[in-house]
Amino acid sequence: MAHSITLIPGDGIGYEVSLAAARCVEATGVDIRWDNVLAGQDAMDKTGQLLPQEALDSIKKNKVALKGPITTPVGTGFRSVNVAIRQALELFACVRPAKSYPGVKSRFKDIDLVIIRENSEDLYSGIEFEEGKPETASLIERISKDTGKKIRPDSGISIKPISKFASERIVRFAFDYALENRRKKVTCVHKANIMKFTDGLFLHTAREVAREFSGRIEFEDTIVDNMSMQLVQKPHKYDVLVLPNLYGDILSDLCAGLIGGLGVAPGANIGKEMAVFEAVHGSAPKYKGKNKADPTAMILSGVLMLRHIRENKAADILEEAVARVIAEGKSVTYDLKPDPLDPSAVGTSGMADAIIEKIKEIK
Ligand code: NAD
């Protein structure tokens, strides 16, 4: 039976990389019926909405989506369409594998770690108080009364909620992920020494959950600043990292840097019932319509999607095809060439064509 999957091309380079990924996924032979829906700038132009209900309804119906990056508009009420989708569909876990593929330029070899980022709360909850507004002044006054601490009157305030419920949910997800994927260790990353009631709660909850997995999965915790240094110096020490939202966002890009950059870093947003697969990178507007962007991150997000729908053989074939094209280094985009100005670099569609040819050879 065909899999019905929502395809959101996104905007910026989204069209090019999503189309490349959809073509490569189809080339594996898996029967897919794409449900194409708009979100982002094109949706705004056509429907007047950045995130039309139709897009959310399609994902709710199909339970699985492949999504291209979407530009965050500056100066509208929307903080981010991407964050809005994750929140509306309760996609609480963001899974971002950072894996080295031979042939990609990078300072490190053989990196194989996975970031599990909490997606639903922390400073991304969007609860903010603007400088100079009466509600901000009254909050500042209330805080001063309740805590005795002074906040400058010309401050803006962002709220960082971290709950026991969401912490337990994400840490349990990380341990289950580690077990299912034969991983050995979970590292909880936090700043509990300073933020005792938020990161402290996250860490305390992680320790409790870790006890249930003791003897099966190793557990450790590390403060986020130290972790940033450790990842740059000794990334091979790490396996699965579980982090609150903001640190997860930042260290995802750091880990993308360890494996050769944003062009090759895939991701998934997973909830209880639904999952949306998307690259770590954004819409890179400067490359829009230039057939230049590296499609690898979106195609590898397609690999994660195939595993999620239990099409493991197709996922293995697609990943192998990507790995071989990168290792050969011929039909790859500019960012994967030793010299980015190398005129033999192919475009987004050219790299997808080479991967499709490789899939045929492997099959
Ligand atoms: P970006 O990831 O779009 O681009 C940063 C730089 O990384 C680019 O200039 C480019 O040099 C490189 N890069 C990114 N993807 C690449 C690819 N596939 N191939 C080759 N090089 C690539 O980050 P940004 O410029 O900070 O953000 C642009 C927009 O995207 C913003 O509006 C941002 O909010 C949005 N964004 C969306 C998502 C998402 O849709 N999930 C994620 C991050 C950022």
Distances 250 to 30, 78, 253, 327, 345 between C-alpha atoms, Å:
34, 21, 6, 28, 30
Specify the pTM. Answer: 0.94
Per-residue pLDDT 10s for the chain (363 aa) are 899 999 999 999 999 999 999 999 999 999 999 999 999 988 888 888 899 999 999 999 999 999 999 998 776 666 788 888 998 999 999 999 999 999 998 999 999 999 999 999 999 988 999 999 999 999 999 999 999 999 999 999 999 999 999 999 999 999 999 999 999 999 999 999 999 999 999 999 999 999 999 999 999 999 999 999 999 999 999 999 999 999 999 999 999 999 999 999 999 999 999 999 999 999 999 999 999 999 999 999 999 999 999 999 999 999 999 999 999 999 999 999 999 999 999 999 999 999 999 999 998
CATH of the domain at 197: 3.40.50
Mutate to test the pocket of ligand 1, among 104, 283, 296 (most ligand atoms within 8 A of CB): 283
Burial class (CB in 10 A: 0-12, 13-18, 19+), 214: exposed
User: Which candidate in 11, 101, 124, 238 is catalytic?
Assistant: 124
Inside any domain, residue 102: no
Q: From the CA of 215, how far away is ligand 1's center (Å)?
A: 40
Domain boundary among 206, 228, 258: 258
Question: Same structural domain for residues 114 and 206?
Answer: yes
Instruction: Judge whether 16 and 349 are in contact, CB under 8 Å.
Output: yes
Q: What is the DSSP string of 133-182?
A: -HHHHHHHHHHHHHH-----TT--EE-----HHHHHHHHHHHHHHHHHTT
Q: From the CA of 134, how far away is ligand 1's center (Å)?
A: 36
What is the rounded distance in angstroms from the CA atom of residue 85 to the CA atom of residue 51?
8
Pocket of ligand 1 (CB under 6 A): 13, 17, 69-72, 82, 262-263, 278, 281-284, 286, 293-294, 297, 335
Question: Same structural domain for residues 317 and 353?
Answer: yes
Task: Count CB neighbours of 328 within 10 A.
Answer: 12
Interacting residues of 78 by C-beta distance below 8 A, sequence separation 6+: 50, 51, 72, 84
Spatial CA neighbour of 105 closest among 252, 235, 264: 264
Question: Same structural domain for residues 293 and 233?
Answer: no
Ligand 1, atom 44, lies closest to the CA of: 282
Question: Same structural domain for residues 111 and 247?
Answer: yes
Domain range holding 17?
A: 1-96+265-363
Structurally, how many domains does the chain consist of?
Answer: 3
pLDDT of residue 76: 61
Instruction: Judge whether 82 and 56 are in contact, CB under 8 Å.
Output: no
Specify the residue for token string 């990380």: 174
Whether 11 is catalytic: no
Instruction: Judge whether 294 and 331 are in contact, CB under 8 Å.
Output: no
**Which SS3 state, helix, strand or coil, does residue 129 take?**
strand
Question: Which atom of ligand 1 has the smallest separation from the CA of 284?
Answer: 3
Whether 249 is catalytic: yes
Mutate to test the pocket of ligand 1, among 15, 104, 262 (most ligand atoms within 8 A of CB): 262
What is the rounded distance in angstroms from the CA atom of residue 7 to the CA atom of residue 79?
22
pLDDT of residue 126: 86
pLDDT of residue 80: 84
Q: From the CA of 284, how far away is ligand 1's center (Å)?
A: 4
- Over residues 264-273, the pLDDT tens digits come to 999 999 999 9
Specify the residue for token string 């990196």: 111
Question: Same structural domain for residues 71 and 111?
Answer: no
User: Which candidate in 45, 57, 176, 225 is catalytic?
Assistant: 225
Question: Which atom of ligand 1 has the smallest separation from the CA of 71?
Answer: 32
What is the widest separation between alpha-carbon atoms in the chain? 71
